Amino acid sequence: MTEWTGEAAPGRPWWWEAVEPEATEDGLPDHCDVLVIGAGYTGLSAAIAAHDSGARVVVAEAGVPGEGASSRNGGMVGAHPRLSWDKMAAAFGADVADDLLAEAAPALDWAKTFIEHEKIQCDFEVTGRVQLAYTRSQFDGQKRLADKVREKSRVEVELVERSDLGREIDTGLYHGGLLFPQHGALHPAKYHRGMLEAVRRRGVPVVSHARVEAMTREGTRLVAQTAKGPIRSEKVVLATNGYTTRPFQWHLRRVFPLPSFIIATEELPENLIGHLAPGRRMMVETRARHSYFRISPDGKRVLFGGRAAMRDVPLHIAAQRQRQTMVEVWPELAEAKLSHVWSGYTGFSFAQMPHVGQHDSVCFAMGFSGSGTVMAPYLGAKAGWLAVGDARAETAYARTRLPRHVLHPFDRPHFLKAADLVFRHWVDRAEAWQARRS
């Protein structure tokens, strides 16, 4: 059974203890040049890009700015594509795969410069991120990936043999790793608050509780019917990712919400933290659970996230599953209590890659598939520039795709119920069996 400290109610992110999302009081204007729908990382970045290009911008948020994935994620800073070069080449062509790898370093540089330029105080630190190979064959795949990364980009990457993993993490679970020393960490809720403040400094209205309920056309303008009334705009940027709802069915059927669950331990002794994670890296796995974990910015807790389920489940069940996985990595935490458990939605595409584009006069950036901390604001800026016709909108992510799939014919991703069973009862067990034989 999971033991709790009683510090927080289930559902409250640990990040909110420092910065809790707050509703804005801005009113809704009747017109603008660019309407941005969504006030998370993507939307706020799009608003800054469009405003700084000379447009009159309004941001409409369905709820409270930042209460979604932007203040619920792991705070890991990296821009490397989640797919291998071979898979990207098969999906999009070799030239696009080359360009996607080549864009990783500029995207990461953009994020670091953005934080510095906007003076965002978000506990940003270059920690490096290590991807841990769960099986020997996955480590062999990391070797091939490292070769491609070095060949196709200027991203720094280092292979970590199993015998050397002790310098990064104290566990016998993994067969090696891939280290990206330029990657980093931040506090996601502080990051969002800093972005929101940057938008407000520019005089851009951010309207809370203004869900867009319908979109119509009036001559050359688009009219968005919101919960706070109508607004007319020349252009629209959709920045809702895993929180997309009607009337945007085209996007709903291409990007689906996949829940990610995170637990936080109670405060741990400093010497235990140093023993568990001597490298103080951001850490992710190669196995299909997509576990990701780190030490909290204050250096006192372990934050552990990933796929406890592929659909919404009660948080106490998710916490038990995440705790079990965490103890597989670090048996020393078997007696540690949990202080927080929460979840948020990643916007996943069937291509497992983000896309920037335009459909029916609506520009968008979405489908970040778990890489939103850097890619959401970076590609949000691209979408903002796309809306105003700025040449800086150019990106290889405009040449990816958001394909539909026969398993997802409607608005809601009902297929995730079956997928959850397949992954938990077959894929996870098959990977565990392969790991034991490695």
pLDDT for res 1: 57
* Short-list 35, 420, 406, CA closest to 240: 35
Query: Distance between CA atoms of 352 and 401, rounded to whole angstroms?
Result: 10
pLDDT for res 22: 97
Sorted by sequence, the CB contacts under 8 Å of residue 84 that are 6+ apart come out as 141, 144, 145, 148
- For the residues 203-222, what does the mean pLDDT come to? 96
On the question of pLDDT at 138 being above 90, the answer is yes
Query: Distance between CA atoms of 38 and 194, rounded to whole angstroms?
Result: 16
pLDDT digits (tens, 9 = 90+) for 372-429: 999 999 999 999 999 999 999 999 999 999 999 999 998 999 999 999 999 999 999 9
| Residue recorded with tokens 């400093």 | 270
pLDDT digits (tens, 9 = 90+) for 84-103: 999 999 999 999 999 999 99
Query: Distance between CA atoms of 424 and 309, rounded to whole angstroms?
Result: 8
For 238-262, b/e burial (b = at least 16 CB within 10 A) is bbbbbbbeeebebbbbbbbbbbbbb
Q: Do the Cβ atoms of 176 and 161 come closer than 8 Å?
A: yes
Is the Cα torsion angle 117, 120, 126, 131 positive or negative in sign?
negative
- Burial of 386 by CB count in 10 Å (0-12 exposed, 13-18 middle, 19+ buried)? buried
Query: Distance between CA atoms of 102 and 96, rounded to whole angstroms?
Result: 10
Band (438; pLDDT cuts 50, 70, 90): confident
Average pLDDT, the chain: 96
pLDDT digits (tens, 9 = 90+) for 332-378: 999 999 999 999 999 999 999 999 999 999 999 999 998 999 999 99
Query: Distance between CA atoms of 251 and 355, rounded to whole angstroms?
Result: 11
Percent of the chain with pLDDT over 90: 95
On the question of pLDDT at 79 being above 90, the answer is no
- For the residues 140-168, what does the mean pLDDT come to? 95
Residue 399 CB coordination number (10 Å): 15
* Short-list 155, 180, 147, 146, CA closest to 104: 155
Whether the link from the prior residue into 247 is cis, omega within 30° of 0, is yes
Query: Distance between CA atoms of 342 and 12, rounded to whole angstroms?
Result: 6
pLDDT for res 6: 86
pLDDT digits (tens, 9 = 90+) for 257-275: 999 999 999 999 999 999 9
On the question of pLDDT at 130 being above 60, the answer is yes
Band (2; pLDDT cuts 50, 70, 90): confident
pLDDT digits (tens, 9 = 90+) for 300-335: 999 999 999 999 999 999 999 999 999 999 999 999
Sorted by sequence, the CB contacts under 8 Å of residue 314 that are 6+ apart come out as none
Sorted by sequence, the CB contacts under 8 Å of residue 229 that are 6+ apart come out as 28, 30
* Short-list 352, 353, 325, 334, CA closest to 431: 325
pLDDT for res 124: 98
**Adjacent-strand bridge partners of 231:** 224
Given the DSSP bridges, would you call strands 206-207 and 184-185 parallel, antiparallel or unpaired? unpaired
